[in-house]
Amino acid sequence: MTNHLISSNSPYLLQHAHNPVDWYPWGNEAFEKAQREDKPIFLSIGYASCHWCHVMAHESFEDERIAEYLNQHFVSIKVDREERPDVDAIYMSAVVALTGHGGWPLSVFLTPEGKPFFGGTYYPPVPRHRLPAFIDVLRAIHEAWTTKREQIEEATEQIYNALRQQFQSRSQPRPFEPEHLERATTRLIQSYDWQYGGWGKAPKFPQPIALEFLIHRLAQNPTLTRVKELIEHALEKMSLGGMYDLLEGGFCRYSTDQRWMIPHFEKMLYDNAQLATVYLYATLVTKNEGFKNVVEQTVEFLLQNMQDSSGLFYSSMDADSEGEEGKYYTFTLEELRRTLTPEEYELFSMTHHLSPLESNPAWMVFQPIEGIDLNRDNPSRAIIYAKLRHLRSSRVRPNIDDKCILSWNGLLLRFFAEASKYLNFQKFIEPAMSLASAIRDWYVKDNALFRIKRGETVSTPALLEDYAAAIVGLLSLYEVSGEVEWFELSKHLANLMVEKFQDPNGGFFDASSEHSGLILRPKELQDTSTPAANALALQALFKLAVLEGTYLDWLDRYTPFLQSVTELASQYPLSFSSWLLLFDSILAEPKEAVLVGARQELQPFLGVLWSKLRTQIVVCHSDLPLSPFAPHILRDRTKVNHQPTAYFCHLGVCQNPTTDIEEFNKMLS
């Protein structure tokens, strides 16, 4: 028996295609059925690697009794939030407004027109942990729908108006000044967990965007010792195991406890792309070689486990294997004793914390105790880890969600490009080029861009975050490669992005008119686990404007909108770090390094340029003759005495060009 999800391309929807629930995908067919039959809609949103989504599916959506009740009284719609984060954003905001919290699986009840009137997250099959049974919730909603329709309609309008207000509201416009960045930095330092690292208690998330902002601050002002201490402390704590996989590399989604010990085991591409970038930049500003090791191990994990044959990368690795969360990653004490010699077991237990999982206390996760230097060569520990890797290899690996999401691949492209600047050009430029070529070949179709690639199929019109992340990644690759094709493609995508998503009132909508069935067009300004799409889009357009010599026009056009976020960003830096990065770039005033010559002969200049993290310098380089598609700031540049030549400019005004490496280094300083 199958339902309407059977023809979907989403791994998450296909997981539910054989449920007895008569699921529909998001679309007109389901809404028309609900209107025709005057039934409320039950909307369930999740994703393929979500543990609690699996739990609710097994407990409730595979239950014949619950399915029968749903099929009789509701029209049920299933959405993959990774395919349609725009849909998720609307209904997540509604549930947070109703209950004070959100999460996945998201369970929302809608009118036949798609407006929410009640919702929550996970519901168990029987009452427990102060949560009502799912069947009792369904009965209560059905009774209210049939006997209290007027109250439901009133609540629906209140919620809808609140959502519309939320996506349109702005704070009082304020010019952004250096003190806003200083205030945000102070708030991040004051709210930081100086005992265990990170921000907040449990669950604890890695916050890579906030860390990147602090790294930018430190790169510009190395005297900020407290900022340096925070960065080192946070990254060391996160990489000590638990949330970070010491055996195979890669970061799990978050820690369920305060001290990064017990992870939520799913591994997401966006987390690993952003954290790899943060550890890369931290390597440069702190000179900590351990951070470089984390970068290389994370890349190894991604290349070995998450790359498809086209050069794109899959979205996630599941938390569960064999139906149980964390089984692949954990060990029993008996397994440890059987695998290790008595001497190795004693050494391991003396140098590592062993903590049981709450769901299965026999299963242990491990973390080195304080003071253990993982960067120092230790033959015994290396042997122990090798044996544990071998033990793990005999297990059933977690499933891979094999859809490739454009925005997440764009974030990873940026990392590969940045790593090829600062670490090892040859090692990282190849996956960067392969990834950029795959983005061009699979997602770009004339005047349209797609979001999802799975197998040989692309689907779902791209969202603002897809355009923005792709442009940022392509521009990073252009900076390091000098290949004008990537600049030209980024310009093409930027023009499409402005055309499709621009809000006449300022900034951009998250979804375009191509995205069907939305009760309103969301415009979320806060960062989530990825940067706010508006901030990322403006970062992309900022860099393009610098390269094209139109930065002052960009400033005139977008400053009024940016000023509406100033106060929010300085007061709530964890939620608006991507805006702080943008404000930082604006206040530093962009500088341009323009290099003329063949890449090989420019290598000494590039070596000086990328010998340290230079966050506020936009780079372009090319040999002569110039391509007609080259950025404007390259035009009319010539070689001095036929030698490779460097120009250093500020807002289009350049110092005298030089062919001398030492002189160029002085310019940069």
On whether the CB atoms of residues 205 and 254 are closer than 8 A, the answer is: yes
Within this chain, domains 11-168 and 179-320+401-588 share the same CATH topology: no
Per-domain residue ranges of the chain: 11-168, 179-320+401-588, 329-394, 591-668
CA distance 455 to 190: 47
Go through the chain and tell me how many residues it has.
669
On whether the CB atoms of residues 12 and 56 are closer than 8 A, the answer is: no
CATH architecture observed for domain 179-320+401-588: Alpha/alpha barrel (1.50)
For residue 331, the model assigns a pLDDT of 93
Cis bond leading into 206, ω under 30°?
Answer: no
CA distance 337 to 271: 34
CA distance 43 to 70: 11
- Residue 70 tokens, joined: 């749903």
The alpha-carbon radius of gyration of the chain (Å, integer) is: 26
**Which of 237, 291, 250 has its CA nearest to residue 423?**
291
CA distance 293 to 429: 18
Percent of residues, the chain, with pLDDT higher than 90: 86
Element (H, E) at 180: helix 178-190
Low-confidence ranges of the chain (pLDDT < 50): none
**Which of 211, 200, 275 has its CA nearest to residue 244?**
275
| SS3 state at 432 | helix
For residue 169, the model assigns a pLDDT of 64
Number of H helices, E strands in the chain: 25, 22
Strands 75-80, 591-596: pairing is unpaired
In this predicted model, what pLDDT tens digit does every residue of 175-225 receive, in sequence order?
Answer: 999 999 999 999 999 999 999 999 999 999 999 999 999 999 999 999 999
In three state form, how does the secondary structure of 358-369 look?
Answer: CCCCCCEEEEEC
CATH architecture observed for domain 11-168: 3-Layer(aba) Sandwich (3.40)
**Which of 223, 228, 207, 210 has its CA nearest to residue 282?**
228
For residue 373, the model assigns a pLDDT of 73
On whether the CB atoms of residues 480 and 426 are closer than 8 A, the answer is: no
CA-based angle 488:490:494, to the nearest 5? Answer: 120
